[in-house]
C-alpha cells in the first residue's frame, strides 16, 4: 500500500516501522529511568542502614560522659575498661536529643517492664536493634533510628 503526498510517495510500512522504533526507544528510556530511580532509593536505604548500625555500635561499645550521644557503655572502674554491650543507665539519662547528629533521630531502650525513648522518628527511617545488658545485668534491646 502506498499513498501519494505532495512531496512524493510514502510507504505505510515505513511509517509503522518508524513508529515502532520510536515506541521501543521511549520504552527503553522509561525503563532506564525507573532503574536509576530504584538504584537511588536502594543506595539511600543502604546509607540509612549503615548509619543506624554505626550509631547503635557506637552507643553500646563506647563510653563518653561528656557526650553520651556517642557512647553509653558501662565503664568498669575495677577492670579499668569499657564493657561492651553493657550500658550505663546514668549515661543514658544524660542524652539530649538536641545533640544528636544529622541522621540520628531516635533512641529507644526496652528492658524488663521499662521503656525509655529519646527523640522521635520523622521521615524515611531505618531502625537498628542490638541486644544489651544493663549494669544490673538486666537483658534488653536498644533501638537506634537513622532518618532522612
Q: What is the pLDDT of residues 10-47, one digit of tens each?
A: 678 888 888 999 999 998 888 888 888 877 777 878 88
Please report the pLDDT score of residue 108 as a whole number.
Answer: 92
| Number of other CB atoms surrounding residue 11 within 10 Å | 11
Helix locations, the chain, DSSP H: 12-61, 89-94
Q: Which residue has the higher pLDDT, 50 or 137?
A: 50
The mean per-residue pLDDT over the stretch 77-106 comes to: 87
Residue range 43-64: mean pLDDT, rounded: 88
Which residues form the domain of 135?
2-147
User: 104: which strand partners?
Assistant: 146
- Give the pTM: 0.67
pLDDT at 9: 65
Between 14 and 127, residue with greater pLDDT: 127
Q: How many domains does the chain have?
A: 1
Which pLDDT belongs to residue 129? 92
What's the rounded Cα separation, in Å, for the pair 55 and 49? 10
Counting every residue, how long is the chain?
A: 148
In this prediction, residue 103 has a pLDDT band, given cuts at 50, 70 and 90, of confident
pLDDT of residue 7: 59
Amino acid at each position: 500500500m502506498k499513498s501519494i503526498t505532495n512531496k512524493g510517495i510514502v510507504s505505510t510500512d515505513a511509517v509503522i516501522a518508524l513508529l515502532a522504533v520510536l515506541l521501543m526507544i521511549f520504552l527503553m528510556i522509561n525503563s532506564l529511568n525507573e532503574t536509576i530511580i530504584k538504584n537511588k532509593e536502594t543506595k539511600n536505604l543502604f546509607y540509612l542502614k549503615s548509619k543506624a548500625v554505626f550509631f547503635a555500635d557506637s552507643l553500646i561499645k563506647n563510653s563518653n560522659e561528656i557526650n553520651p550521644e556517642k557512647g553509653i557503655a558501662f565503664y568498669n572502674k575495677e577492670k579499668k575498661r569499657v564493657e561492651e554491650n553493657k550500658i550505663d543507665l546514668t549515661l543514658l539519662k544524660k542524652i539530649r536529643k538536641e545533640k544528636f547528629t544529622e541522621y540520628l533521630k531516635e533512641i529507644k531502650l526496652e528492658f524488663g517492664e521499662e521503656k525509655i525513648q529519646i527523640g522521635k522518628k520523622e521521615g524515611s527511617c531505618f531502625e537498628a536493634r542490638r541486644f544489651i545488658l544493663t549494669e544490673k545485668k538486666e537483658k534488653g534491646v536498644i533501638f537506634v533510628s537513622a532518618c532522612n
